[in-house]
Amino acid sequence: MAVPLMSPQEERNHVTFTALMRALSHPGREQRLPDTGLAAFVAIGDALVDLETSYYTPHDALAAALVRTGARFLSPLQARYQFYPQLHDQHLDHLRVAPTGDYVAPEDSATLVVGCVIGSGPAVELRGPGIRSAIEVRIDGLPAAFWSLRAGTLRYPLGWDVFLVAGDRVIGLPRTTRVEMIE
């Protein structure tokens, strides 16, 4: 039986999508992406965003790269995929209005793709499905208010799914993951 070969772009999308799904299945465990830096955000966009979806990013170069996906560029109030290569305090107003879904259509929540530093900075403890008891992760480069803002959106099955990206590494935080700051 012949198996069709993937093009380099299809292979990149496949590897990226697989890393993202593993990241959500195993919250707090690092997964590897085939690209690094802004190219990692473009690869994630290529793997997740298509004609049926929408996106938002305040980053001009990333917005220009995501145009070729055919997805609609919408405001943070409406966009289902939101990309923040660097999340600054001024972006928190965007997150405050990001969709969290509703009880009829929880899938209408936003998925956030956020740049950060993994392995240094404040420690957080993660608990929930996909985690045996608890896991501790150090994450830096996020506004301090990000964690409380995220916690305020979670009313299962509502809330955001979050991908934290650092270079070619990604950590997934599904809306079922509880995050607690460690003093």
For the chain, list residues with pLDDT below 70.
183
Report the C-alpha gap between 155 and 150 in whole angstroms: 11
Prediction pTM value: 0.95
Report in angstroms the alpha-carbon separations of 43 from 34, 82, 182. Answer: 8, 14, 32
Residue 41 · residue 15 · CB < 8 Å: no
pLDDT of residue 1: 74
Return phi, psi of residue 105, to 5°. Answer: -135, 70
Q: Which helix (H) or strand (E) holds 54?
A: strand 54-56
Residue 170 · residue 164 · CB < 8 Å: yes
Q: Which two tokens stand for residue 90?
A: 């001024």
pLDDT of residue 156: 87
pLDDT of residue 147: 96
Report DSSP letters for 83-146, one per residue.
Answer: EESS--GGGHHHHHTS-B--SS-GGGB-EEEEE-EEEEEEEEEEESTTSSS-EEEEEESS-THH
Map out the domains of the chain with their CATH numbers: 8-181 (3.40.50.11310)
pLDDT of residue 128: 94
